[in-house]
Amino acid sequence: QVQLVESGGGVVQPGRSLRLSCAASGFTFSNYGMHWVRQAPGKGLEWLAVIWYDGSHTYSADSVKGRFTISRDNFKNILFLQLNSLRADDTAVYYCARDVGKYDQGVFDFWGQGTLVAVSS
Amino acid sequence: DIQMTQSPSTLSASVGDRVTITCRASQSISRWLAWYQQKPGKAPKLLIYKASSLESGVPSRFSGSGSGTEFTLTISSLQPDDFATYCCQQYDGHPWTFGQGTKVEI
């Protein structure tokens, strides 16, 4: 069955960096676009970034553009999100999610359980 | 960015009730709308896409309708497992945006 398992979250000071990982299994990872979505405490979902099946194209939300970078390793079936210059308002649970297609249709049919990033001094 | 507004924010209901949740988009999104269910501490689950297409494995008591700027999610007969938060999401264009969620509680 499809499984997405995030890791790499934790408590980090403002201005520091973190790299999140999402290990995929149970499907052909290299056939799907992949996304990162976050949810701040008590808030709604916020889409962050997408990467095409082959890694050739990425798109990011303006709120994280220039600070967060999405990437993937199709040999190891892992999705990444590099978080730089972290701020207090980046505190959230970060989810990886699979797109229904190869590119960025924008429908998320499987999600991981999330990893918590807490930015605090 | 396209703003998605859901109503109500919270809905009190009982098992067996018919429940309707509304989602409005700030501009027309045709039928590019999905609905998700989320339980506390869990990942969202896709219920409906393209406004009214039921995701595989989702019970038929869930249905969606609408187009343009106004959409509804209906649960025909609420079951104990359905007490959760529901959110809509537009995928007409980047950036994809979500509604703030509707909590269905007893």
Task: Give B95 to chain A, closest Cα distance, Å.
Answer: 6
- Which of A43, A100, A111 comes nearest B44 by C-beta? A111
A29: left (phi over 0), alpha (psi -120 to 50) or beta: alpha
**Coil/strand/helix, residue B73:** strand
List, for residues B47-58, the tens digit of each pLDDT value: 999 999 999 999
Q: What is the mean pLDDT of residues A42-52?
A: 95
Q: How many CB atoms lie within 10 A of CB A89?
A: 9
Per-residue pLDDT for B98 more than 90? yes
Phi, psi of B46 (to 5 degrees): -70, 130
Please name the residues in contact with B40: beta carbons below 8 A apart, sequence gap of 6 or more. none
Tell me: the pLDDT tens digits for A61-119? 999 999 999 999 999 999 999 999 999 999 999 999 999 999 999 999 999 999 999 99
Confidence of residue B41 (pLDDT cuts 50, 70, 90): confident
CA distance A68 to chain B (A): 15
CB of A99 closer than 8 Å to CB of A34 = yes
- Percent helix, strand, coil in chain B, to 5, is 5, 50, 50
Question: What are the chain B neighbours of A104 within 8 Å (beta carbons)?
Answer: 94
pLDDT of A4 higher than 90: yes
User: pLDDT band for position B10 (50/70/90)?
Assistant: very high
With a pLDDT cut of 90, the percent of chain A lying above it is: 98
Q: Encoding tokens for residue A114? A: 């999330």
Q: What value, to the nearest 5°, has the Cα angle with vertex B85 and ends B78 and A7?
A: 130
Report the chain B residue with the minimal C-alpha distance to residue A60. Answer: B95
Looking at the complex, does the CB of residue B51 fall below 8 Å from at least one CB of chain A? no
Residue B80: count of CB within 10 angstroms of its CB: 7
Beta strand spans in B8-106 (E): 10-12, 19-25, 33-38, 45-49, 53-54, 62-67, 70-75, 85-90, 97-98, 102-105
